[in-house]
Structure 1
Amino acid sequence: MLFPISDDDRHLMHPARVTIGLVVVNVVLFLWQLLNPEFTNGWSVIPYEITHGVDINQTIGIQTPQGIQGLTLTAGPSPIYLTIFSAMFMHGGWMHLGGNLLYLWIFGDNVEHRFGALKFLAFYLVSGIVATFAQIAMNPDSVIPNLGASGAISGVLGAYLVLFPRNRVNAVFFFTIVSLPAVFVLGMWGLMQFVQGAGSFSTIGHQGGVAYAAHIGGFIAGVVMGVISRVTMKTEPESVFRRIYQEDSKVRRYW
């Protein structure tokens, strides 16, 4: 299995301030979750709450493979639709947080550089919204809390695939670091979401797990917006790093 750890950033002109800010917000909100456990189930996206416009504030019984178990849902924001945004910055554990932010850190800066700071922020939020509604569509009456930045970050991956298909991505493959084109690494990632998601859709809404529909929805949204960007936006501005990258490429052709 490929596990990305870095990419080629030599052509970037400046730090990706929005990407850095998103990482900080995710970390801060997760620390707030640790200090306030009730916050998580109140401010996560509950499909039933979104589709019915209600805020569930009680313990309800849900069917799980281990039998019926109680799930305590706490009060959320008003209006409850604000959870669509708050859930994008919340996580279910350290591994969930770390994995998401690693992908955002690796791929977000390139996409931000291509879009520009404000457009990238809007793109990120739109990807997250599309991902959320894709997950809700799988089971509109589900009361299982949905949370995480995965949907929005999947959008980043989709856009990166379209905008930087030839960028080299360093990844761990069976304890060995390999350098592969982004189109292969992210193409494989997207394919795995469809394959794994197909097997999970039959049980969605009955128990927790990976929200594959959100991953797929966000990824497709990112690909679509990436294509629009590639067609309508100008090429990246010239920079010292860009020239160095191009000169290195010319040198390598003669080796």
Structure 2
Amino acid sequence: MVIPVHDVNPARRTAWVTYALLAANIVVFLLTPGMAGSVVGEGSLAQLCHLQAFLDQYAAVPRELIHHQMPRLVPTGEVGVGPQGPGCVVGPPPYDKSPELSVLTAMFLHGSWLHLLGNMLFLWIFGNNIEDRMGHIRFLVFYVVCGYAASYGFAVLNNASAAPLIGASGAIAGVLGAYLVLYPRARVWVLVPFLIFLPLRLPAWTVLGLWFALQAVYSSGGGISDAGTVAYAAHVVGFLAGMLIAWPLRPGTPPPPEPRGIVFGRRARPGW
């Protein structure tokens, strides 16, 4: 798997929406109950119970999205002692949850620093050009639509699941799909793990095509986005949604600039 670090495709205007989304995701993560434990360790039982209660309220759950089957008992955020020792107390939900709105709130929730930073890296690199091409408002609508398509697509394939679905991955996958359609020949600097991290400059169609192929392969085994697994099927649906929405914009999209300069001690050839 290659790690993108920069694309050679300057934007014409400031990507205010992309920067706002980056900031919002980071702020929400820092304010999410129990996430302090992800920095220094596992966290206390009280933090974990509080986090479970928070996710049950604000994360998207496939069974709720498809069947509107709301649980009768949920974690309350409190710690109790039962026959098997300390644990999280459950009780009737003290809130009225909208499954449709939970898709939006779930798009700003992440389960760990690695989860957050990985998503924000891709949004930082590829989001500005898509926002530049679409415009600020249309890009925001596009981002949300891709996130909804990814969540509901995953929910259809896993309609009996009660595990929380969180993260901006589906929406960002839509951004990647749009980038592949609009800027397939743009060059992307990546790090390739091969004994050490080797820097290479590859065309976007190679980088993003490989990323999509891996998501498609992994999704064949299913997957649920919680603390230990990834919703690969949501990535696939979001990516395809982004491609379809961006396709009509292809004819008027200017090509990225040709990279120039020195590459590994040699002058780059035209089109490198």
TM over 0.5: yes
Q: Where does residue 29 of structure 2 map in the other structure? A: 30
CA drift of 1:181 comes to 0.2
What is the DSSP-based 3-state SS (H/G/I as helix, E as strand, rest coil) of the residue aligned with 1:142?
coil
Q: Structure 1: give runs of 5+ residues left out of the alignment.
A: 61-68
Is 1:42 paired with 2:41?
A: no
Say which of 156, 174, 191 aligns to 1:172: 191
Within 5 Å, which residues of 2 pair with 1:217-232? 217-231=237-251
Aligned length: 234
The structure, 1 or 2, with the larger RCO (C-alpha pairs under 8 Å, 6+ apart) is 1
Quick check: 75-84 or 116-125, which moved more?
75-84
CA distance 1:176–1:72, change in 2 (3 Å): farther
TM-score by length of 1: 0.81
Instruction: Select the residue among 212, 215, 221 that pairs with 1:193.
Output: 215
Identity score, percent: 39
Equivalent residue number for residue 63 of structure 1: none
SS in 2 for 1:169: strand
Which amino acid is the alignment partner of residue 9 of structure 1? N
- Please tell me whether the aligned partners of residues 7 and 167 of structure 1 are also in contact (alpha carbons under 8 angstroms): yes
Q: Which residue of structure 1 aligns with residue 2 of structure 2?
A: 2
Q: CA RMSD in A?
A: 3.0
SS of equivalent residue, structure 2 residue 60: coil
Q: 1:145 to 1:177 in 2, by over 3 A?
A: same
2:81 is matched with which residue? none
Consecutive unaligned residues of structure 2, counting only runs of 5 or more, are: 35-49, 76-86, 262-267
Q: Which amino acid aligns with 1:85?
A: L
Q: Structure 1 residue runs of 4+, over 3 Å off? A: 69-78, 203-208, 234-237, 245-249
Q: For residue 183 of structure 1, what is the aligned residue in structure 2?
A: 205
1:15 pairs with 2:11? no
Change (3 A) 1:8 1:72: farther
Deviation track 1:185-224 (CA, whole Å, cap 9, x = no partner) reads 00000001111111x22x7699951101100000000111
Instruction: Pick closer, same or farther for the CA change 1:16–1:193 going to 2, 3 Å.
Output: same
Alignment of 1:119 with 2:154, yes or no, is: no
Answer 1 or 2: which has greater helix percent. Answer: 1
TM-score by length of 2: 0.77
